[in-house]
A and B are shown apart, each in its own frame.
Chain A
């Protein structure tokens, strides 16, 4: 069982594992793997804590009820699975600043926090606008040969590459 404690698997092994899990999801649950809807549902649940059942009247939450569903449990599972994996290889540690960021910007927490927060807001907004994310469109959608997902996957990377290049080649260097 040594391979479970490795720090890294070959990307082909990790990818094949995800591909097999996709097949299992279709077979056992009749569902494609996806993540971003769970965030929308959670957002609705949190809003309900403050505004009560009025939130259920919002057209978006009538489409995506703010309740725990299959995909929500999947995201909960991701957290546990990644935690187990990191623990087994001794990689779990609390850390604010990733290495690449530290090299380009520095090690103070506030800039990284703010940029991550802004990035998260834009991505959460974009994921719901696009109707999926890197797993729902990028893997599950492309493997079904869905036209919407192939367009989405290309645009995810066009937007991502342009933004990362702008940040790391221009802004952080200036």
Chain B
């Protein structure tokens, strides 16, 4: 029933903008647009980042799978390979720990006045993305294809109903959050 809405290009850009406003608002209110909070997570002194990510993932996972089972949403899992998902993500992590913001929170940090996020972070990410675009023709036939597994999801990998995975993952996330609270972090 939302098919016609999905095809309205101009309106879609506006919806993306509105969702972005809500997302940026939540990121700033949650405190993750701060360098200290993100680095605190990586040094295990502040668990705000993990609490926000796990809660978002939990609510989103249940919500999206309900929408999907009612025929109101389609999944769009990203394809991956060991070459992209492991090596690329480790490189990302090194940058993440060095910069102290990620691509979403750096935009939020810039908006709250953090000049290191604007002149260091955003400029750097644009340069890094440009370098990747330049090297892409060389990389795509080699390392990026190593251990390719496509846009696989765990329910398809294990050939089970998605809820068989959603339920235990939800319980696991809740236990993890409870444990983090209990240890007082």
The total of chain B residues at the interface (CB under 8 A) is 125
Contact of A120 among B60, B106, B151 (CB under 8 A): B106
Q: Which residue of chain A lies nearest to B54 when distances are taken between CB atoms in the complex?
A: A15
Q: Which residue of chain B lies nearest to A83 when distances are taken between CB atoms in the complex?
A: B111
Query: Inside 8 A of B51's CB, which chain A residues have their CB?
Result: 11-12, 15
Binary flags per residue of A140-174, CB closer than 8 Å to B gives 1, else 0: 11111111111111111111111111111100000
Is B104's CB under 8 angstroms from A122's CB? no
Question: Bound complex: CA of A148 vs CA of B166, how far in Å?
Answer: 17
Contact of B26 among A17, A61, A68, A147 (CB under 8 A): A17
Is A144's CB under 8 angstroms from B48's CB? no
Chain B contact residues: helix, strand, loop or mixed: helix
Could you tell me which residues of chain B, from 19 to 48, have a CB within 8 Å of some CB in chain A? 19-36, 39-40, 42-44, 48
Query: Inside 8 A of B107's CB, which chain A residues have their CB?
Result: 35, 75, 78-79, 82
Question: Bound complex: CA of A168 vs CA of B103, how far in Å?
Answer: 22
Is B133's CB under 8 angstroms from A40's CB? yes
Nearest CB of chain B from residue A169's CB, rounded to whole Å: 8
Nearest CB of chain B from residue A61's CB, rounded to whole Å: 6
Q: Which residue of chain A lies nearest to B77 when distances are taken between CB atoms in the complex?
A: A146
Is A19's CB under 8 angstroms from B99's CB? no
Contacts from B to A (Cβ < 8 Å):
2, 5-6, 12-36, 39-40, 42-44, 48, 51-61, 63-64, 67, 72-82, 84-100, 102-117, 119-134, 136-137, 139-140, 144, 149, 151-155, 157, 162, 165-166, 169, 177
10 tightest A-B CB contacts, nearest first: A159-B93, A120-B124, A77-B20, A148-B80, A116-B120, A124-B128, A19-B59, A123-B95, A15-B55, A81-B24
